[in-house]
C-alpha cells in the first residue's frame, strides 16, 4: 500500500501516458464508510479497497463524508461531498484516485495531447515510457516518477560522459520556459534554459535525480538514467495555489549562485496586484519600486538607475528598442502589461552581448501566443481599455498573440463643460503583436511588432504627438547539443511632431525622427562542461532627422529651418566566458570591442583646438559625402564577474563593467520632456564612457523562501553630456555650441529582502546613494554652476520601498506598497532683487536645496470571480487606492510674485487618495 499523499504535478505528468476513467470508479462503498471524516475515510478506503488517493496534503478539508444508497459509487460520493469546495475526484484503471481543485483537473486529456508531447520529443526512447504508478519512488524530499531513459546503451558503450539536451516546457500550455534551472544534486551541477527553453547538461553516464525549477512553477524532480547523449523534454506544472499572486522570484538559486549581480527579473503576474495610479498596470512604475531605481517625480518619464541620467538606459521589447517609453508625458508607460510576460533589468553585470548604454538594459519579453488553444483577455481601467487575443495558427507549431490598449479619455472629456477642456484631446494607445513558429525542436522563429502613440492637443494652442513603431524577427537555432545560435533583426522608429499656433505669425510645426536598425548574431557554445561561451557581433545603423521647423498656417512667417540629418553606425564584436572553476567558484569575463562611425553626408564645423566651441572659434567647415566617415570612435568594453559560494545558501560576488555610449538625449529640462531629441556623438561631441564596480553579499534562507542581498556600487562616467545654463536646444542647429561635457560620480548601497513564496510575499528594500555631477573644463575654462560639483536632479540619498501581497483566500488577495525617499534636489530662488520696480528671483547654486521628502502608501484588493470550472468567462476586480494617506507630496516647489510679494508654493499632483476600479476578464475559468 502506498502512501496516500503525493504531489499532484507528478500525476499530471503521468497523465500523458494513461487513460482515465471519468466520473465513476466502479467501486461501491459499504455503509461502514458513511459519516466518516475524510482522514478516516481515506485511511480506511486505502486499506480495505486497494486504492490510493493522490492530493495536496492541505487541500482537502477534513469534512464528514456522507452518502445514501444506492448512490454509493466512490467517485460519485466524493464529488458530491466536495462539490462545495470545488474539488473533483477522478480515477484511473489501477485504483488511483485523484483529488484535485476543480480548475486544474484534466480527467480527459485533449485528443492530441499525446501527439503533442511526442512531437516535441527529440528522442524516441521517451515515447516508450510507460509510467506505472507502482514505480513512484520516494527520495529524501519528494516523490519522483519512473526513470526517464536518455540515449541507449549501444551508443554509450565507449563514452563515460554524455550530453542531455532538451526543453523545459510548461505542462499547462506547452510553452517553453526560459530561465528555468535544471540541477542535479549528486553532481552539484546544473544548467539554465535559454530564451527558447533549451538546455544542455553534460553528465557522466548514470542515474540521477534531476530537479527542475522555474518562477511560478512547481519544483519538480525527475528520475533520469543517462545511457548516452540524447534528448529529453520535461514538463513542469504551474503553481496552482499561487496563481496570480505577487511572488517575486528569480530563478530559484539565482540570488545566491548565479554569477550575475544587479539583475532584477520580474514576471508580469508578480505585478498584477501592485496598486498603481488609476489602476493602470505599469511595469515602469513597478521597476521604480526596485532598489537603485529612481525617477525625478511622479508623472515624469524615464527612470534613473544607480544615479545615472535617463538616457543611459535602453528599453528593448523583443529586441526592438523603444526610445520613448511613456504615455501622457510619463504618467503611464508605453507598455501594455497584458501583452508582456516578464522583464529583466540589468543594473550591473550587463552581459557582453549588450552594449551602447552605460547604466542599464531593460529587456522586456512579450507574451507568447498559446500554441494549443484560443484565448482572449482584457480589461478596463478608468483610463484605458485593453484586449488581447492569442492562439494557434498551426497547432503546436505556430501561434499568434495580439494585444491592444487605448484610452477613452476624449470621450470622458466631452462631458466636461469647460470649453478649454472640451476642445482638448489627450489620447494614447499601443499594440503588441507577435508570431511564434516552432519549425522543429532545433529551430524557432519569432516575428514581433510594436506600436505606440500619443496625441495631446490643447485647444488652439499646441498639438503634440509622438509615436514608436518597431518590428523584429528572431531566429533561434540549435546546431547540436553544445552550440546554439540566435539571430535577430530589429527596426525601430521614434518620431514626434509639434504644432504650435499660439501666435499666428510665428506658428510652426516641428518634427523629429530617429530610426534604429539593429542586427545581432549571437552564438552560445559549451566547449567543455565548465565553460559557457557567448560570442557574436551586433551592428546598429542610426538615421536621425533632427527635424525641420516649418510655418504652420497661412499667416505664419516662420523661415523654414532644417536642422539636418545624421547617420551613425555602431558595431560591436563580443566574447564572454562563464567558467565554473569549481562548484563554489564561478567567473565571468567578457570583452566587447565597439566601433562607432559618424557618417556623412554632413557639414561639420571645426573649432579651434582647446577652445570653447563658440561661433567665434570656428576655423573651418568640413564637407563630407554620403557614408564618408566623419569621425570614428573605438572603445573596448570589459565585463568581469566572480561569484564565490560560501555555502549553498550564501555567496559573495564582485563585478566590474566598462561601457561606452554613442547616443544621448539632448535635454536640459528638469525631467525628460516629450520634445527632447536623441542625438549621436559626433565630430564635436565625444562618446560617454562609464565604469562600474560592484560588490555584493547574497543569502537565501528558510528553504529559499527568503532572499537577502546587499550590493554596493561605485560608478564613474566620463564625457557626460551637460548643457550651458539656459541653452535653447529645441531649434539648435549646432548643439555642440551649447554642450559641456563633464563627469558623473555615483555610489550607493542597496539592501533587498524578498519573500518569494507563501501566503504573504513581497519585498523590502533600502537604498543609500549619491550622484554628483561636475562640469569644469580646465582647458577651455567652461563651467557649469561656477565649477562646483552639484547633485544630479534625481539624487535621492535615502529610499525605502515595501511591496507586500497577502493571499487571504483563493479568491481574495490584498496588496500594499509603502514608498519613502528623500526629496529630489532643487534650485531654489533664495532672494529677490529689483529691476524696474519689479521683484525678481535670484536663484541659489544648482540643486543646492531639496524638496520635502516623499512618502506614499497604496493598497489594493483583488477579488476573483467564482471558481466554477464550466464557465466561458472569468472576471476579476481590483479595487485600489493610491496614496491612502492623501499626503501632499511635493512634485515641485515654485515661487511667484503676487502683488509685488514673492510667495512659495508646493505643487502636489496626487494630493488625495485616488480610488480606482479595474476589471479584467478572460475566456475560460480561473485557471485557464
Return the residues of window 536-565 that contact another protein according to CB under 8 A.
549, 557-559, 561
User: Could you give phi then psi for residue 77, rounded to 5 degrees?
Assistant: -65, -45
Q: From CA 131, how far away is CA 235, in angstroms rounded?
A: 14
Interaction between residue 414 and another protein (CB under 8 A): no
**Looking at 210-218, 237-245, 394-402, 903-911, which segment touches another protein (CB under 8 A)?**
903-911
Among 909, 921, 927, 928, binds another protein (CB under 8 A): 909
Three-class DSSP labels, 712-726: EEEEEEEEEEEECCC
Per CB under 8 A, 616 contacts another protein: no
- Least distance CB 786 / another protein (angstroms): 6
> Please, are residues 650 and 663 in contact by the beta-carbon 8 Å criterion?
no
Measured from the CB atom, the residue of 392 and 852 that comes closer to another protein is 852
Q: CB-side exposure of 561: number of CA atoms within 13 Å?
A: 16
- Residue among 757, 748, 769, 745 nearest 696 (CA): 748
Buried b (16+ CB within 10 A) or exposed e, 152-164: eeeebeeeeebbb
Residue 808 has a CB neighbour count (10 Å cut-off) of: 12
Tell me: does residue 207 bind another protein (CB under 8 A): no
Three-state secondary structure string covering 690-714: EEEEEEEEEEEECCCCEEEEEEEEE
Q: Which is nearer to another protein, 199 or 882 (CB)?
A: 882
- Region binding another protein by CB under 8 A among candidate stretches 113-121, 435-443, 734-742, 833-841: 833-841
Binding status of residue 309 toward another protein by CB under 8 A? no
| Position among 843, 868, 885, 919 found at the interface with another protein (CB under 8 A) | 843
Classified as helix, coil or strand, 736 is helix
Q: Does 668 bind another protein (CB under 8 A)?
A: yes
505 binds another protein, rule: CB under 8 A: yes
Pairing, β 914-923 against β 873-882: antiparallel
Select from 449, 758, 829, 865 the one that contacts another protein (CB under 8 A).
829
- Min dist CB 748 to another protein, Å, is 23
Candidates 911, 921, 923, 927; binder of another protein (CB under 8 A) is 911
Contact 680, 542 (CB under 8 A): yes
Stretch that binds another protein, among 64-72, 478-486, 663-671, 746-754 (CB under 8 A): 663-671
Q: Which of 210, 328, 441, 514 binds another protein (CB under 8 A)?
A: 328
Site string for another protein, 780-819 (x = CB under 8 A): -----xx------x--------------------------
Nearer to another protein, 654 or 730 (CB): 730
| Residue 117 φ then ψ, to 5° | -65, -30
How distant, in Å, are the alpha carbons of 124, 425, 700, 909 from that of 412?
60, 10, 49, 20
User: Which one, 647 or 835, has the nearer CB to another protein?
Assistant: 835
Nearest distance, CB of residue 827 and another protein, angstroms: 5
Shortest distance (Å) from residue 273 CB to another protein: 21
Residue whose cell numbers read 565571468: 588
Do residues 784 and 821 make contact, with C-beta atoms less than 8 angstroms apart?
Answer: no
458 is a contact residue toward another protein (CB under 8 A): yes
Minimum Å gap between C-beta 374 and another protein is 35
Is the Cβ of residue 14 or residue 407 nearer to another protein in the bound state? 407
Cell of 658: 566598462
Q: State how far the Cα of 783 lies from the Cα of 785, in Å rounded to an integer.
A: 6
Residue numbers 232-291 binding another protein by CB under 8 A: 278
Q: Which of 687, 579, 686, 594 is closest to 638 using CA atoms?
A: 594
- Candidate list 39, 844, 866, 885; residue touching another protein; CB under 8 A: 844
C-beta of 125 vs 409, nearer to another protein = 409
- Closest CB 666 distance from another protein, rounded Å: 12
Q: Total residues at the site for another protein (CB under 8 A)? A: 97
Map grid coordinates 518590428 to a residue.
471
Q: Which residues contact 174 (CB under 8 A, 6 or more apart)?
A: 116, 117, 120, 235, 371, 372, 396
Strands 790-791 and 798-807: unpaired
Binding segment toward another protein, per CB under 8 A, in 234-242, 413-421, 698-706, 917-925: 413-421
- SS3 for 81? helix
- Binding another protein by CB under 8 A: which of 152, 396, 500, 571? 500
Spatial distance between the Cα atoms of 34 and 65, rounded to a whole number of angstroms = 6
Q: Interface mask (CB under 8 A) for another protein, residues 709-738, using x and -?
A: --------------x-xxxx-xx-------
Binding to another protein (CB under 8 A): which residues in 871-900? Answer: 888, 890-897, 900
User: Could you say which residues in the range 380-409 bind another protein, by CB under 8 A?
Assistant: 382, 409
Q: How far apart are CA 813 and CA 811, in angstroms?
A: 7
Report the nearest approach of another protein to the CB of residue 559 (Å).
Answer: 5
Region 424-453 residues binding another protein, contact defined as CB under 8 A: 424, 426
C-alpha cell at 510: 516641428
Amino acid at each position: 500500500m502506498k502512501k496516500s499523499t503525493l504531489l499532484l504535478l507528478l500525476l499530471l505528468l503521468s497523465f500523458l501516458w494513461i487513460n482515465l476513467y471519468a466520473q465513476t470508479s466502479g467501486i461501491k462503498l459499504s455503509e461502514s464508510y458513511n459519516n466518516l471524516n475524510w482522514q478516516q475515510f481515506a485511511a480506511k478506503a486505502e486499506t480495505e479497497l486497494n486504492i490510493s488517493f493522490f492530493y495536496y496534503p492541505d487541500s482537502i478539508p477534513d469534512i464528514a463524508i456522507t452518502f445514501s444508497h444506492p448512490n454509493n459509487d466512490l467517485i460519485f460520493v466524493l464529488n458530491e461531498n466536495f462539490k462545495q469546495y470545488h474539488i473533483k475526484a477522478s480515477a484511473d484503471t489501477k485504483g488511483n484516485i485523484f483529488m484535485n481543485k476543480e480548475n486544474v483537473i484534466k480527467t480527459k486529456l485533449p485528443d492530441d495531447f499525446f501527439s503533442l508531447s511526442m512531437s516535441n520529443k527529440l528522442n524516441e526512447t521517451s515515447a516508450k515510457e510507460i509510467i506505472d504508478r507502482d514505480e513512484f519512488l520516494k527520495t529524501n524530499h519528494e516523490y519522483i516518477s519512473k526513470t526517464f531513459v536518455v540515449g541507449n546503451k549501444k551508443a554509450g558503450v565507449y563514452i563515460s560522459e554524455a550530453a542531455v539536451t532538451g526543453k523545459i516546457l510548461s505542462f499547462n500550455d506547452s510553452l517553453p520556459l526560459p530561465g528555468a534551472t535544471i540541477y542535479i544534486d549528486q553532481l552539484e551541477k546544473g544548467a539554465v534554459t535559454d530564451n527558447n527553453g533549451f538546455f544542455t547538461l553534460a553528465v557522466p553516464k548514470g542515474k540521477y535525480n534531476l530537479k527542475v525549477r522555474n518562477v511560478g512553477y512547481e519544483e519538480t524532480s525527475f528520475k533520469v538514467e543517462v545511457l548516452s547523449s540524447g534528448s529529453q523534454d520535461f514538463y513542469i506544472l504551474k503553481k496552482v495555489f499561487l496563481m496570480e499572486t505577487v511572488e517575486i522570484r528569480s530563478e530559484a538559486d539565482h540570488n545566491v549562485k548565479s554569477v550575475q549581480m544587479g539583475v532584477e527579473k520580474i514576471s508580469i503576474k508578480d505585478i498584477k496586484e501592485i496598486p498603481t495610479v488609476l489602476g493602470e498596470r505599469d511595469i515602469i512604475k513597478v521597476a521604480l519600486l526596485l532598489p537603485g531605481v529612481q525617477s525625478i517625480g511622479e508623472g515624469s518619464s524615464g527612470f534613473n538607475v544607480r544615479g545615472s541620467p535617463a538616457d543611459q538606459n535602453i528599453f528593448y521589447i523583443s529586441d526592438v528598442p523603444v526610445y520613448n517609453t511613456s504615455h501622457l508625458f510619463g504618467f503611464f508607460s508605453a507598455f501594455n502589461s497584458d501583452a508582456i510576460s516578464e522583464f529583466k533589468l540589468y543594473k550591473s553585470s550587463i552581459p557582453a552581448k549588450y552594449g551602447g548604454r552605460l547604466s542599464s538594459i531593460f529587456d522586456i519579453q512579450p507574451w507568447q501566443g498559446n500554441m494549443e488553444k484560443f484565448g482572449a483577455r482584457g480589461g478596463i481601467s478608468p483610463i484605458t481599455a485593453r484586449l488581447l487575443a492569442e492562439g494557434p495558427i498551426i497547432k503546436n507549431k505556430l501561434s499568434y498573440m495580439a494585444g491592444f490598449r487605448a484610452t477613452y479619455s476624449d470621450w470622458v472629456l466631452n462631458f466636461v463643460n469647460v470649453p478649454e477642456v472640451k476642445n482638448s484631446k489627450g489620447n494614447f494607445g499601443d499594440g503588441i503583436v507577435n508570431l511564434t513558429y516552432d519549425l522543429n525542436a532545433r529551430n524557432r522563429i519569432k516575428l514581433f511588432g510594436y506600436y505606440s502613440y500619443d496625441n495631446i492637443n490643447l485647444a488652439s494652442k499646441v498639438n503634440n504627438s509622438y509615436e514608436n513603431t518597431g518590428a523584429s524577427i528572431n531566429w533561434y537555432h540549435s546546431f547540436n547539443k553544445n552550440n546554439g545560435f540566435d539571430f535577430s533583426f530589429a527596426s525601430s522608429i521614434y518620431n514626434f511632431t509639434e504644432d504650435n499656433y499660439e501666435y499666428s505669425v510665428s506658428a510652426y510645426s516641428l518634427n523629429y525622427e530617429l530610426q534604429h536598425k539593429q542586427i545581432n548574431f549571437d552564438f552560445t557554445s559549451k566547449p567543455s562542461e565548465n565553460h559557457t561561451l557567448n560570442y557574436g557581433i551586433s551592428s546598429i545603423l542610426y538615421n536621425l532627422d533632427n527635424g525641420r521647423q516649418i510655418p504652420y498656417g497661412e499667416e505664419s512667417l516662420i523661415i523654414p529651418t532644417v536642422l539636418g540629418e545624421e547617420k551613425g553606425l555602431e558595431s560591436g564584436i563580443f566574447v564572454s566566458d562563464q567558467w565554473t572553476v569549481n562548484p563554489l567558484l564561478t567567473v565571468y569575463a567578457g570583452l566587447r570591442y565597439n566601433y562607432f562611425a559618424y557618417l556623412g553626408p554632413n557639414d561639420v564645423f571645426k573649432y579651434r583646438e582647446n577652445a570653447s566651441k563658440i561661433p567665434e572659434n570656428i576655423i573651418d567647415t568640413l564637407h563630407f559625402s554620403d557614408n564618408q566617415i566623419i569621425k570614428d570612435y573605438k572603445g573596448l568594453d570589459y565585463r568581469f564577474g566572480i561569484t564565490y559560494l560560501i555555502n549553498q545558501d550564501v555567496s559573495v560576488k564582485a563585478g566590474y563593467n566598462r561601457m561606452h555610449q554613442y547616443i544621448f538625449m539632448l535635454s536640459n529640462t528638469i525631467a525628460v520632456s516629450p520634445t527632447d531629441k536623441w542625438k549621436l556623438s559626433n565630430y564635436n561631441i565625444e562618446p560617454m564612457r562609464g565604469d562600474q564596480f560592484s560588490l555584493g553579499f547574497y543569502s537565501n534562507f528558510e528553504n529559499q523562501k527568503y532572499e537577502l542581498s546587499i550590493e554596493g556600487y561605485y560608478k564613474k562616467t566620463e564625457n557626460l553630456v551637460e548643457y550651458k545654463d539656459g541653452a535653447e536646444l529645441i531649434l539648435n542647429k549646432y548643439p555642440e555650441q551649447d554642450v559641456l561635457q563633464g563627469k558623473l560620480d555615483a555610489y550607493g548601497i542597496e539592501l533587498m529582502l524578498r519573500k518569494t513564496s507563501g501566503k504573504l510575499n513581497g519585498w523590502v528594500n533600502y537604498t543609500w546613494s549619491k550622484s554628483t555631477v561636475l562640469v569644469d573644463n580646465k582647458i577651455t575654462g567652461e563651467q557649469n554652476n561656477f565649477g562646483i560639483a552639484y547633485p544630479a536632479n534625481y539624487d535621492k540619498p535615502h529610499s525605502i520601498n515595501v511591496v507586500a501581497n497577502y493571499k487571504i483566500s483563493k479568491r481574495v488577495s490584498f496588496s500594499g506598497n509603502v514608498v519613502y525617499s528623500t526629496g529630489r534636489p532643487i534650485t531654489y530662488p533664495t532672494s529677490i532683487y529689483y529691476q524696474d520696480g519689479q521683484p525678481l528671483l535670484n536663484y541659489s547654486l544648482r540643486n543646492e536645496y531639496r524638496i520635502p521628502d516623499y512618502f506614499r502608501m497604496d493598497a489594493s484588493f483583488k477579488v476573483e470571480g467564482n471558481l466554477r470550472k464550466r464557465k466561458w468567462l472569468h472576471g476579476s476586480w481590483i479595487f485600489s487606492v493610491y496614496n491612502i494617506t492623501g499626503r501632499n507630496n511635493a512634485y515641485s516647489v515654485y515661487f511667484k510674485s503676487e502683488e509685488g510679494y514673492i510667495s512659495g508654493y508646493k505643487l502636489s499632483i496626487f494630493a488625495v487618495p485616488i480610488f480606482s476600479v479595474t476589471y479584467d476578464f478572460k475566456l475560460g475559468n480561473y485557471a485557464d
